[in-house]
């Protein structure tokens, strides 16, 4: 029996520590065991190691809380995410679909790495105890030892053939988690179907069948599965979150946001749901941006940033929309914030060069030409094939209102790079090449390439291009005004 206390013996108070998240629905299962999403809980004013997931050495826990009504003996310990102290860990348990938090002795639990070494001894002492195989399988899954996890849950299925329906169903559900991690979604669905046949009330089997269907991109089936999980366990926050992700993949953002919000209301510690809610606002903002609904896009991006102030993609999107609205000063602020946030990511932000390019364009429009050149140069260093950055740079060198920043040679070279990267298909880049040739005094070439731009897209920037053509025919370059 594991002793549990709601009070920290040293008087510390818990607080939530946020974590980075995976936005792919199948990846969610790698941090999900027995239906409880992994949460990291920290301790104020306590020197501690990194958060760890822990596994109980026994499946029963005696709970002592401030509220006698919540005290219990023999409660099932599903998962214990915690932070290590010298002699104790803080963790969460579930009793009758309600969670509580408290302290437990390190002697009563393993962390994931210790579990792999510790459970063999327990299994040797009690080879037919299902609990040991379940938790070792969970630890193997966490560590990425998928075949070992599969073997543990398969053995667990054999051990529980004559057990009560709940235990038998959980054995099949555990193996379904592993099938999902292996991307063997059809096998996962078969195990979930068997779990549901054995125990029709098994919400987690419905949940993981939804995970598998999401992995197959069968989002309607996934939404139905997650709804079944929620109907069986209305407090299953991860099912609300996962259904929201499926709705988001179908571009049903209002439904997605409602589910993410519900998940957070059920479990305020569920950082994954917060991340997904922010992402839903970001995705809807991008849709509004594509439809040139700049104010609506900015509003959605702002909601995403309020949830996650370091959301590089949303900061980039809002800066981009403000750039379209010619709000250059605030666009520069957002785009620089996006660059700062992107630099802080553990994995490289895939659109880093594009952020620099947009920021360089905003600087140029705001007549901060040196900053524009420097930022566009960084964009090109990061992605030498980013035609937009080459084009912005060429336009600045060819048409800058300040003659000190004009550079005919660099203008032509940069414009040629943009032209060649896009294989003469972008009319804006061809018009920039024409301006570059005019700045270098090659007016016949300027007329040829401006005419080519007007042929590719006769309606785009018609007034400007007519003005440029008139100037070129008069042997005069085009310059922007101060």
Q: How far is CA 399 from CA 128, 392, 428, in A?
A: 80, 11, 14
Give the Cβ contact number of residue 98 at 10 Å.
Answer: 9
Structure tokens at 7: 């009070």
Give 322's DSSP letter.
H
**How would you class 296 by CB atoms within 10 Å of its CB: exposed for 0-12, middle for 13-18, buried for 19 or more?**
middle
Q: What are phi and psi of 171, to 5 degrees?
A: -65, -45
CATH number for the domain formed by residue range(s) 274-427: 1.25.40.10
Cα separation, 153 vs 149, in Å, equals: 6
- Region 330-343: mean pLDDT is 97
The CATH class, in words, for 2-233 is mainly alpha
Cα separation, 473 vs 482, in Å, equals: 23
* DSSP assignment of 257-269: HHHHHHHHHH-TT
The domain spans of the chain are: 2-233, 274-427
The backbone region for 413, taken as left when phi is positive above 0, alpha when psi lies in -120 to 50, beta otherwise, is alpha
Confidence of residue 107 (pLDDT cuts 50, 70, 90): low
Pairing state between β 109-111 and 51-56: antiparallel
pLDDT at 109: 63
Same fold, 2-233 and 274-427: yes
Q: At what angle do helices 237-249 and 203-215 cross, to 10 degrees?
A: 20
- Region 82-90: mean pLDDT is 42
Beta-bridged to residue 88, according to DSSP, are 105
Is 53 within 8 Å of 81 (Cβ atoms)? yes
Calculate the dihedral angle through the C-alpha atoms of 261, 266, 268, 274, rounding to the nearest 10 degrees. -30
Walk across the sheet containing 2-5 and list its strands: 72-76, 60-64, 2-5, 98-105, 88-95
Positive or negative, the CA dihedral 245, 250, 254, 258 is negative
Confidence of residue 52 (pLDDT cuts 50, 70, 90): very low
pLDDT in tens, 387-427: 999 999 999 999 999 999 999 999 999 999 999 999 999 99
The backbone region for 341, taken as left when phi is positive above 0, alpha when psi lies in -120 to 50, beta otherwise, is alpha
Q: Which residue has the higher pLDDT, 45 or 262?
A: 262
Cα separation, 332 vs 49, in Å, equals: 39
pLDDT at 60: 47
| Secondary structure of residue 98 in the 3-state scheme | strand
- Region 18-27: mean pLDDT is 28
pLDDT at 105: 62
């Amino acid at each position: 029996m594991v002793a549990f206390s709601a009070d920290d013996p040293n008087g510390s108070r818990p607080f939530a520590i946020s974590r980075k998240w995976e936005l792919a629905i199948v990846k969610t299962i790698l941090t999900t065991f027995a239906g409880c999403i992994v949460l990291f809980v920290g301790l104020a004013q306590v020197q501690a190691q990194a958060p760890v997931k822990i596994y109980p050495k026994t499946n029963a826990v005696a709970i002592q809380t401030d509220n006698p009504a919540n005290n219990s003996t023999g409660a099932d310990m599903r998962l214990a995410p915690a932070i290590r102290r010298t002699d104790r860990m803080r963790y969460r348990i579930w009793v009758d679909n309600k969670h509580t938090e408290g302290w437990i002795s390190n002697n009563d639990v393993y962390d994931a790495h210790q579990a792999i070494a510790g459970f063999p001894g327990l299994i040797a002492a009690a080879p037919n105890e299902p609990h040991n195989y379940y938790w070792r399988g969970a630890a193997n899954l966490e560590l990425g030892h998928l075949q070992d996890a599969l073997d543990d849950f398969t053995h667990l299925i054999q051990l529980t053939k004559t057990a009560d329906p709940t235990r038998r169903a959980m054995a099949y559900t555990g193996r379904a988690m592993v099938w999902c991690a292996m991307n063997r979604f059809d096998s996962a669905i078969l195990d979930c179907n068997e779990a549901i046949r054995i125990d029709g009330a098994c919400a987690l089997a419905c949940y993981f069948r939804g995970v598998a269907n999401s992995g197959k991109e069968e989002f309607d089936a996934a939404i139905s599965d997650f709804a079944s999980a929620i109907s069986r366990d209305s407090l299953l926050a991860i099912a609300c979150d996962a259904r929201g992700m499926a709705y988001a993949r179908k571009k049903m953002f209002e439904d997605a946001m409602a589910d993410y919000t519900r998940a957070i209301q059920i479990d305020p510690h569920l950082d994954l749901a917060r991340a997904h809610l922010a992402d839903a606002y970001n995705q809807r903002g991008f849709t509004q941006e594509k439809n040139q609904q700049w104010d609506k896009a900015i509003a959605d991006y702002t909601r995403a940033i309020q949830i996650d102030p370091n959301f590089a993609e949303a900061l980039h999107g809002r800066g981009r929309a403000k750039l379209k609205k010619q709000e250059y000063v605030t666009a520069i602020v957002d785009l620089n914030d996006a660059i700062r946030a992107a630099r802080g990511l553990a994995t490289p932000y895939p659109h880093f060069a594009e952020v620099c390019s947009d920021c360089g364009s905003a600087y140029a429009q705001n007549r901060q030409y040196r900053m524009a050149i420097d930022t566009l140069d960084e964009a090109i260093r990061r992605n030498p094939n980013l035609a937009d950055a080459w084009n912005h740079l060429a336009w600045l060198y060819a048409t800058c209102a300040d003659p000190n920043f004009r550079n005919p040679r660099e203008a032509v070279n940069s414009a040629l790079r943009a032209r060649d990267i896009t294989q003469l298909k972008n009319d804006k880049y061809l018009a920039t090449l024409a301006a570059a040739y005019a700045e270098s005094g090659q007016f016949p070439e300027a007329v040829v390439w401006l005419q080519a731009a007007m042929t590719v897209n006769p309606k785009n920037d018609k007034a400007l291009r007519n003005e440029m053509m008139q100037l070129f025919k008069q042997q005069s370059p085009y310059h922007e005004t101060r």
